[in-house]
Amino acid sequence: MSYDLILLRHGQSDWNQKNLFTGWVDVPLTETGRAEAARGGELLKEHNLLPDVVHTSLLQRAISTAHLSLEAAERLWIPVKRDWRLNERHYGALQGKDKTQIRDQYGEEQFMIWRRSYDTPPPEIDAEDPYSQAGDPRYADLGDAAPRTECLKDVVERFIPYYESEVIGDLTAGKTVLLAAHGNSLRALVKHLDGISDEDIAGLNIPTGIPLHYQLDENFAPLNPGGQYLDPEAAAEAIQAVANQGKK
């Protein structure tokens, strides 16, 4: 008995291309990102990994990626579940800031603490900041619990309960599950699945638009630790590019 779980980071977004911290800012995919998403769907079809249900965040780059990849895989008809708990990590006051400028201004060490430390969040975003989500109707139900910044630990704490109830629920029902989400929300899940330490997770990066397949055993532990990228060569190159963001 095994279960199939597919993780898909959204394709390149407008702000990935512009090298800006994005977090919860709702930016669209670029043409490259749309092509990556469609290619992701073709890979699913080629590997006969056809999702029965898709879970996405509330952000259009993940929603569009799910749609374009399912279109390419001829699975547009499957049920969709959306939840804020799959959202990208809230990047606090860094949202909308240029990654290279922040690295130059604060130095490599602080830049990497904000980007990759497990439990140090960036400064909170001001409600008046143009890139704040204060007043965004999609988060109205969260009230005061809506984050104004998050570290990876915060993402683990919101995403893993969702994974354990909703995603494991679908897997248990025998469904192949596609999760269309984000670099840091997927890092949170991979940390959980592979039992990666708080220190070592800093070195793990997830590329855009390349499906990552986990086969899980009856206890939902990976039979293939680390998962399998459906295009391993493209993934290796793209992982390096994510790691190098902010460098000149």
Of 3, 5, 6, 23, the one binding ligand 3PG by CB under 6 A: 23
- With H, G, I as helix, E, B as strand and everything else as coil, classify residue 22: coil
- With H, G, I as helix, E, B as strand and everything else as coil, classify residue 162: helix
Q: Are strands 3-9 and 177-181 parallel, antiparallel or unpaired?
A: parallel
Nearest-angstrom CA–CA distance, 90 and 203: 20
Q: Which is nearer to ligand 3PG, 91 or 214 (CB)?
A: 91
Angle value at C-alpha 129, between 124 and 131, nearest 5 degrees: 90
Select from 180, 186, 190, 188 the least CA-distant residue to 226: 190
Are the C-beta atoms of 65 and 40 separated by less than 8 Å?
yes
Q: Is 166 a catalytic residue?
A: no
| 159 contributes a contact to ligand 3PG by CB under 6 A | no
Give me the helices (H) in 47-146, please: 60-72, 99-106, 108-116
Chain residue whose CB lies nearest ligand 3PG = 22
Are the C-beta atoms of 151 and 158 separated by less than 8 Å?
no
Q: Is 23 annotated as a binding residue?
A: yes
- Using the rule CB under 6 A, give the single segment among 21-29, 77-85, 124-132, 213-221 that binds ligand 3PG: 21-29
- With H, G, I as helix, E, B as strand and everything else as coil, classify residue 120: coil
Q: Which is nearer to ligand 3PG, 88 or 231 (CB)?
A: 88
Select from 214, 226, 221 the least CA-distant residue to 179: 214
Chain residues 178-237 in contact with ligand 3PG, contact rule CB under 6 A: 182-184
Of 82, 103, 115, 213, the one binding ligand 3PG by CB under 6 A: 115
| 112 contributes a contact to ligand 3PG by CB under 6 A | no
Q: Which is nearer to ligand 3PG, 57 or 69 (CB)?
A: 57
Of 60, 110, 228, 245, the one binding ligand 3PG by CB under 6 A: 245
Number of other residues whose CB lies within 10 A of the CB of residue 165:
9
| 41 contributes a contact to ligand 3PG by CB under 6 A | no
Nearest-angstrom CA–CA distance, 184 and 87: 9
Q: Which is nearer to ligand 3PG, 75 or 99 (CB)?
A: 99
| 162 contributes a contact to ligand 3PG by CB under 6 A | no
Q: Are strands 212-216 and 80-82 parallel, antiparallel or unpaired?
A: unpaired
Sketch the per residue contact string, 80 through 99, with ligand 3PG: x for CB under 6 A, - otherwise.
--------x--x--------
Kindly name the residue from 36, 55, 88, 213 that is annotated as catalytic. Answer: 88
Q: Is 10 a catalytic residue?
A: yes
- Using the rule CB under 6 A, give the single segment among 17-25, 31-39, 68-76, 173-181 that binds ligand 3PG: 17-25
DSSP code at position 223: S
Q: Which residues bind ligand 3PG (CB under 6 A)?
A: 21-23, 88, 91, 115, 182-184, 242, 245
Q: Output the known binding site for substrate.
A: 9-16, 22-23, 61, 88-91, 99, 115-116, 183-184
